[in-house]
Amino acid sequence: MVKNAVPRPLDLAHHIAGRSVGSPRTFTSRNPAHRDQVVAVVARGGAEEVNLAVQAARSALPGWRRTPWPVRGEILLRAAELLAARKEELARLMTREMGKVLTESRGDVQEAIDMGRFIAGAGRRAFGETVPSELPDKWAMTVRQPLGVVGCITPWNFPIAIPSWKIFPAVMAGNTVVFKPAEDTPACAMAFVEVLEAAGLPPGVVNVVFGMGEECGAEVVAHPGVDAVSFTGSVATGRVVAETCGRLLKKVSLELGGKNGIVVLADADLELALDGALWGGFGTSGQRCTATSRVIVERPVLDAFTHAFAERVAGLRLGDGLEEGVTVGPIVNQRQLERVDSYTRSGRAEGARILVGGEVATEGRLAEGWFYRPTVYADVSPQMRIAQEEIFGPAVAVIPAPDADSAIGIANGTAYGLSLSIYTRDLARAFHAMSDLEAGIVYVNAPTIGAEIQLPFGGVKQTGNGHREAGSAALDEFSEWKSIYVDYSGRLQRAQIDTSR
């Protein structure tokens, strides 16, 4: 093969009970840096394929939940090691399929490796409680139980890491899975499931159905054979998922949008804050739930910060993420590109100044893809739409704050609460912020992105519905507690009654 030749498009069928299942209709996954390059031609599933996948997951359930936890853990550990062995290949596929620069794609695969290694340990550490009973000769304890068949619906922005947050703990806890990945990243999803099966996961434990949200994802959510749903995506879709699950009384965990912000106080190390805002705002082209899309700057340092920030942003290099030296990749698709641009128009109309960027980039080979120039909005007031709504692109709003307290107020003043950060050298201020910032994740002197899998991930307010993924919360999402009492006294003992004095 010629070096750098474009690989042939993959042909992707659904993966049900370990076998390929096609659909009459297909869709394509494209390289966002060169939209004429088709990465995969993919089966487009609906109710029928979802039904097959649910049946396969239900059939696999009794055997899988009886498989001992440590045995399940060993399979997951092997999967993590296989991911590590294939890291470079998977990272390249990811950059081709959704555009993030290669170093970040490697990080995405690494996050899945970390998650696999972490959760595999639960095989021998899935502790319950043993608590003394109030009655003699009676035993009281808890054990974790699987939920049953879990529907996992995942986004395109972390196409291997986010499936790993869900699927690793779901199968660790003894559930079987119907996996509906985002339509922009089917090849990454399939590669992840191939790794799981190569590691020894029995067929039918994880089944993949490809398709569109309304046609396919909605069927997974509503299917009576799906016991619980884990969804990461937009607030609008999350609401629909929650409504359906509410009606059907299914356990549902939602990880939705963010409007994350960095607070820069006057005493901050400005260089450090600039580095943080640049990485937090423009890493993954701003397409992270955790992306820094606001920087709230205390007046005394506003001009110095804004000027230096705009200069650094202008120096970022747009391009194909596989190319050396490129720091910002494309936007995942045309719809998202238009969405980002519509926010620039909105910002302008509301009186923000566009310091750099603010347009689609089309020079040279950039015209082949969906590229948006890294953008800084200045003079942004907290009520503007660009300061309130999730943009999910390479655009950061700089918002002036008269003092430290109002900066915290502005940071908290959105409907979301995923990730917030503060840059300050003042220890007391940092500790106050740790308590006062309304977010599931808080950073001090670090940007809003870069969560590690050993701590719980998730947010407050409209970012979710109170669940967390990964960390010590990983199994909670995918298991239920069963409280068990064993009375070996040989007589009827009445709790609360025979004990009362």
Residues that bind ligand UN1 (CB under 6 A): 111, 157-158, 288-290, 449-451
CB of 189 within 8 A of CB of 171? no
CB of 64 within 8 A of CB of 57? no
Give me the least distance between CB of 111 and ligand UN1, in Å please.
6
Antiparallel, parallel or unpaired: β 34-43 and 26-31: antiparallel
| Active-site residue flag, 152 | no
Report the alpha-carbon distance of residue 232 to residue 269 in Å, rounded: 35
DSSP β-bridge partners for residue 162: none
DSSP β-bridge partners for residue 464: 255
CB of 236 within 8 A of CB of 486? no
Q: Between 64 and 457, whose beta carbon lies closer to ligand UN1?
A: 457
Give me the least distance between CB of 268 and ligand UN1, in Å please.
21
Secondary structure of the chain: what % helix, strand, coil (to 5)?
A: 40, 25, 35
DSSP β-bridge partners for residue 207: 178
CB of 360 within 8 A of CB of 348? no
Q: Between 31 and 290, whose beta carbon lies closer to ligand UN1?
A: 290
Q: Between 100 and 429, whose beta carbon lies closer to ligand UN1?
A: 100
Q: Between 288 and 429, whose beta carbon lies closer to ligand UN1?
A: 288
**Catalytically annotated residue among 216, 289, 469, 477:** 289
Report the alpha-carbon distance of residue 486 to residue 347 in Å, rounded: 64
**Catalytically annotated residue among 111, 183, 219, 255:** 255
Q: How many CB atoms lie within 10 A of CB 244?
A: 15
Instruction: Please report which residue ranges of 99-217 form alpha helices under DSSP H.
Output: 102-120, 161-172, 186-198
Residue 1, H or E segment: none
Give me the least distance between CB of 26 and ligand UN1, in Å please.
28
Give me the least distance between CB of 450 and ligand UN1, in Å please.
5
From residue 160, alpha-carbon distances to 24, 112, 186, 253 in Å are 27, 6, 10, 19
Q: Between 176 and 290, whose beta carbon lies closer to ligand UN1?
A: 290
Give me the least distance between CB of 157 and ligand UN1, in Å please.
5
Give me the least distance between CB of 158 and ligand UN1, in Å please.
5
Q: Between 390 and 476, whose beta carbon lies closer to ligand UN1?
A: 390
Q: Which amino acid is at 414?
A: T
C-alpha neighbours within 13 Å on the C-beta side of residue 259: 23
Q: Which residues are catalytic?
A: 255, 289
